[in-house]
Amino acid sequence: MNSVRKLMPLCSKQAFSGKRFYSNSKDLSKDENKILYEKLLNKNYNSEKHTEASSFAKWLTPHYKYGPSRIMNYDWSIKNMHSWYKRKRVEFHKYNQRYITERVKSLGSDIAAAHFVVYRGGAIRFRGQDDFISWTNKKEEYYINLPLTYDPNYFVEAIDGSDLMFYYEGLENFKNLYKLKWLKLRNNPVLDNWCLDYIGHAIPNLEYLDISNCPQVTAGGIAGLQKLTQLKTLVINSNNIEIQMACFALEDIIPGLFVLIQENKDVKLQTMTEKINLNET
């Protein structure tokens, strides 16, 4: 390869058939061709060598050929670091709520979903039982009242996920729960239309659904619940006219459905009103 590089500047024929665009329309001379070849060869050779030998140094340290260093281009302000932390925290929660196939194979869909909900602060109720199972005593293990092995007699009938941040990845743990009829996802700030569409697809036998105080839900998400043909009660609170009209249309689509639309009051205003009433009392 080096011998070819040495012979290229000595070629008698011109390698470039074009004209010089910085002067008159004259062909490049032999000396100009030689200088041009040397510059191109040295430039390509140095660039490849620098990329292979010191790629990390080029990425980290400043150099006049490659501009300022990459680490100096980062925004190390408090605001940007806080945004980075929030983004990584969301990524961690989504990864932590993922559907684990091995857990479902060992426990079954119903018992695995029960462990998933109870450990994160929710409550579940099995079919044939009257009380919800939750993790109230933090000094004990969360699975104190849950079966630890697969039992075909356990079916999850109700799930209370109020005040919990269940992402789309977390709702995948509710699939194959064919006996689930009661679901409460109140006060979930990340519940959106995609989650409602998945609920309508994965839980076809649902009869009660509470999605009140979920600000990400729009009229399109309400329309996606038309797959729940067994739904009897839907609880939602919103002053948006589009959401209310979507609820009325859903009542016409699903026979026997009753949509309870609560007033969407401001939390601070509601707290102040309660304090005033308490003082008056």
Q: Is residue 169 part of a domain?
A: yes
Q: Is residue 142 part of a domain?
A: yes
Q: Is residue 4 part of a domain?
A: no
**Residue 178 and residue 150 share a domain:** yes
Q: Is residue 70 part of a domain?
A: no
Helix (H) or strand (E) holding 50: helix 30-53
**Residue 154 and residue 107 share a domain:** yes
**Residue 58 and residue 87 share a domain:** no
Closest CA relative to residue 203, chosen from 168, 221, 228: 228
Query: What phi, psi does 104 have (nearest 5°)?
Result: -70, -35
**Residue 59 and residue 92 share a domain:** no
CA distance 69 to 194: 41
Average pLDDT, the chain: 77
Examine the pLDDT at 203 and tell me if it is beyond 60.
Answer: yes
Q: Which tens digits make up the pLDDT trace of 128-171?
A: 999 999 998 888 888 888 998 899 999 999 999 999 999 999 99
Q: What contacts 28, CB < 8 A, 6 or more positions away?
A: 14, 16, 20, 36
Residue 14: the pLDDT is 44
pLDDT band at 279 (very low <50, low <70, confident <90, very high): very low
**Residue 155 and residue 57 share a domain:** no
Q: Which tens digits make up the pLDDT trace of 14-54?
A: 444 444 444 443 566 777 766 666 655 554 444 344 444 44
**CA geometry: angle 265, 267, 273, nearest 5 deg:** 80
**Residue 191 and residue 124 share a domain:** yes
Q: Residue 129 sits in which domain range?
A: 83-280
Examine the pLDDT at 228 and tell me if it is beyond 80.
Answer: yes
Residue 79: the pLDDT is 85
**Residue 149 and residue 107 share a domain:** yes
**Residue 42 and residue 122 share a domain:** no
Provide mean pLDDT across the span 239-243.
89
Per the structure, the count of domains in the chain is: 2
Q: Is residue 73 part of a domain?
A: no
**Residue 150 and residue 57 share a domain:** no
pLDDT band at 213 (very low <50, low <70, confident <90, very high): very high
236 pairs with which residues across the strands? 261
Q: Is residue 182 part of a domain?
A: yes
Q: Which tens digits make up the pLDDT trace of 75-119?
A: 778 888 888 888 888 888 888 888 988 888 888 999 999 999 999
**How many Å separate Cα 4 from the centre of its chain?**
54
Residue 262: the pLDDT is 84
- Please give the radius of gyration of the chain, using alpha carbons only, rounded to the nearest integer: 33
For position 179, which CATH number holds?
A: 3.80.10.10
Provide mean pLDDT across the span 264-275.
44
Residue 259: the pLDDT is 92
Query: Given phi > 0 = left and psi -120 to 50 = alpha, else beta, which region is 94?
Result: alpha
Q: Is residue 179 part of a domain?
A: yes
Q: Which of 48-62, 133-147, 176-190 has the highest mean pLDDT?
A: 176-190
> What share of the chain in percent tops pLDDT 70?
68
Residue 193: the pLDDT is 93
**Residue 255 and residue 163 share a domain:** yes
Residue 56: the pLDDT is 54
Q: Is residue 74 part of a domain?
A: no
Residue 36: the pLDDT is 60
CA distance 267 to 189: 14
**Residue 137 and residue 256 share a domain:** yes
The DSSP annotation for 188-202 comes to: -TT--HHHHHHHHHH
Provide mean pLDDT across the span 221-227.
90
CA distance 165 to 215: 12
pTM of the entire predicted model: 0.66
**Residue 187 and residue 53 share a domain:** no
